[in-house]
Amino acid sequence: MHLPVSTVPATSPNDFVAEHVRGIPRSGIRDFFEIVQSMSDVISLGIGEPDFVTPWHIREAAIYALERGKTGYTSNLGLLRLREAIAEYVSTTYHVSYDPTTEVLVTVGVSEALDLALRAILNPGDEVLYHEPCYVSYSPSIALAHGRAVAISTREADEFKLRPAALKAAITPKSKVLLLNFPTNPTGAVLTARELEEIAAICREHNLLVITDEIYSELSYAEPHTSIASLPGMRERTIFLHGFSKAFAMTGFRIGYACAPAPLIDAMMRIHQYGILCAPIISQEAALEALRHGHNDMLEMREHYRKRRNFLLYAFREMGLPCFEPRGAFYLFVGIKPTGKSSHDFAMGLLKQEQVAVVPGTAFGASGEGYIRCSYATALEQLEIAAPRIARFVGKL
């Protein structure tokens, strides 16, 4: 028998949404780019992905995999051949060894790997410390895993580095994880081996687990990159995340990986096997080709980024907006305080008046106020058109 409709409590579809999801804001970048998409003749310095198409031999490996009928599931952990290649690459590049049979998990990008790591580790209310400005997904991903996001502000005067004193000051008895991302999206900051050692010592002293997102590590322009996982006593308390999106221009393949001690990978794998099953086999075959034969392509793209970075740095200096020289990734985080405008108003004004899209710094956390992020994963010819437009806008303010 059905209840009369009038006795069913009134509800709206919104009431069905879980409370911790209701609190998650929409991405500031998404909202901004919906406006960009409705306009024509816009030069975008906003997108955080390489403008290069995936190198041909990597695409060919994917096509060849399809031709050979590779269309099924793989092991939940990923193809063993790929995990072996990842372990070898991580060992030679980052100087830390993982067992490909138990300590490497192939994921759907670093995005999935980060989500798995947080969900595998956090009990409700555990605190995750991270340096800010930071990648837009960190705070929501922590909240979705029922953790508490604790942002530690970094400053341009410190080259946006995470300072040991700031880390220490943020630690409480509930602190469980330190989430690192060097080179950093959106600032291009890096930490030297010596600076990482100081951070590592604090993590050991306070028994923190480190999740390190090293997706931009190949795109380091100054000193060679050091991974915190390679420092003494850190391998056992670190989850190393990496992927193919940036260095090999493979964002659409959605492929990445996590390396960590076996019990942590096993915990992540138990979530992955029920939620995802495995990363797409075609992307896994392409990733294998990238590791085997993609090194020179990566070096070539990095040289393009370096030239573009230098061009933009000089252009902003000429406009009277000298900015911190990024040591890695492909972003310039430009201070616009001298213009007297907020990040949002600057970005909106530049878009409307000069059709150049940049991202307001506040999309990367409150400490991004007074800055805009410009991506130089954009062709030099486009940057050459954008720079005088920005200069004209700044001159008019």
Whole-number minimum distance, CB 393 to ligand PMP, in Å?
26
Footprint of ligand PMP on this chain (CB under 6 A)? 48, 109-111, 135, 181, 185, 213, 215, 243, 245, 251, 256
The residue to which tokens 């031709």 are assigned: 67
Residue 339 sits at the vertex; the CA angle it makes with 337 and 344, to the nearest 5 degrees, is 70
CA-to-CA distance for 202 and 248, rounded, in angstroms? Answer: 33
Q: Looking at beta carbons, which residue is closest to ligand PMP?
A: 109
Whole-number minimum distance, CB 272 to ligand PMP, in Å?
14
- Kindly tell me which of 74 and 141 has the beta carbon lying closer to ligand PMP: 141
Whole-number minimum distance, CB 230 to ligand PMP, in Å?
19
- Kindly tell me which of 138 and 324 has the beta carbon lying closer to ligand PMP: 138
Strand pairing report for 256-259 and 104-107: antiparallel
In the beta sheet, which residues pair with residue 241? 213, 258
Q: Which of 166, 165, 174 is nearest to 142 (CA)?
A: 174
Whole-number minimum distance, CB 3 to ligand PMP, in Å?
46
Whole-number minimum distance, CB 2 to ligand PMP, in Å?
46
Whole-number minimum distance, CB 16 to ligand PMP, in Å?
28
Whole-number minimum distance, CB 279 to ligand PMP, in Å?
11
Whole-number minimum distance, CB 57 to ligand PMP, in Å?
21
- Kindly tell me which of 175 and 217 has the beta carbon lying closer to ligand PMP: 217
In the chain, which ranges are continuous DSSP H helix? Answer: 19-22, 28-37, 56-67, 80-94, 109-121, 138-144, 164-170, 193-205, 262-275, 281-293, 295-318, 343-354, 380-396
- Please check whether residue 65 is in contact with residue 266, taking contact to mean a CB–CB distance below 8 angstroms: no
| DSSP label at residue 237 | G
- Kindly tell me which of 143 and 319 has the beta carbon lying closer to ligand PMP: 143
CA-to-CA distance for 305 and 260, rounded, in angstroms? Answer: 31
- Please check whether residue 326 is in contact with residue 334, taking contact to mean a CB–CB distance below 8 angstroms: no
Q: Which of 108, 104, 112, 63 is nearest to 81 (CA)?
A: 104
- Kindly tell me which of 185 and 284 has the beta carbon lying closer to ligand PMP: 185
| Cis status, amide bond into 183, omega within 30 of 0 | yes
CA-to-CA distance for 223 and 217, rounded, in angstroms? Answer: 11
- Kindly tell me which of 215 and 357 has the beta carbon lying closer to ligand PMP: 215
Task: Give whole-number Cα distances, 10 to 4, 18, 70, in Å.
Answer: 13, 18, 51
- Kindly tell me which of 315 and 360 has the beta carbon lying closer to ligand PMP: 360
CA-to-CA distance for 44 and 253, rounded, in angstroms? Answer: 22
- Kindly tell me which of 215 and 234 has the beta carbon lying closer to ligand PMP: 215
- Kindly tell me which of 134 and 319 has the beta carbon lying closer to ligand PMP: 134
Task: Give whole-number Cα distances, 356 to 102, 306, 393, in Å.
Answer: 47, 21, 10
Q: Which of 105, 53, 70, 84 is nearest to 279 (CA)?
A: 105
- Kindly tell me which of 279 and 394 has the beta carbon lying closer to ligand PMP: 279
Whole-number minimum distance, CB 70 to ligand PMP, in Å?
22
Whole-number minimum distance, CB 115 to ligand PMP, in Å?
10
- Kindly tell me which of 179 and 386 has the beta carbon lying closer to ligand PMP: 179
CA-to-CA distance for 68 and 183, rounded, in angstroms? Answer: 38
Whole-number minimum distance, CB 290 to ligand PMP, in Å?
13
- Please check whether residue 168 is in contact with residue 152, taking contact to mean a CB–CB distance below 8 angstroms: no
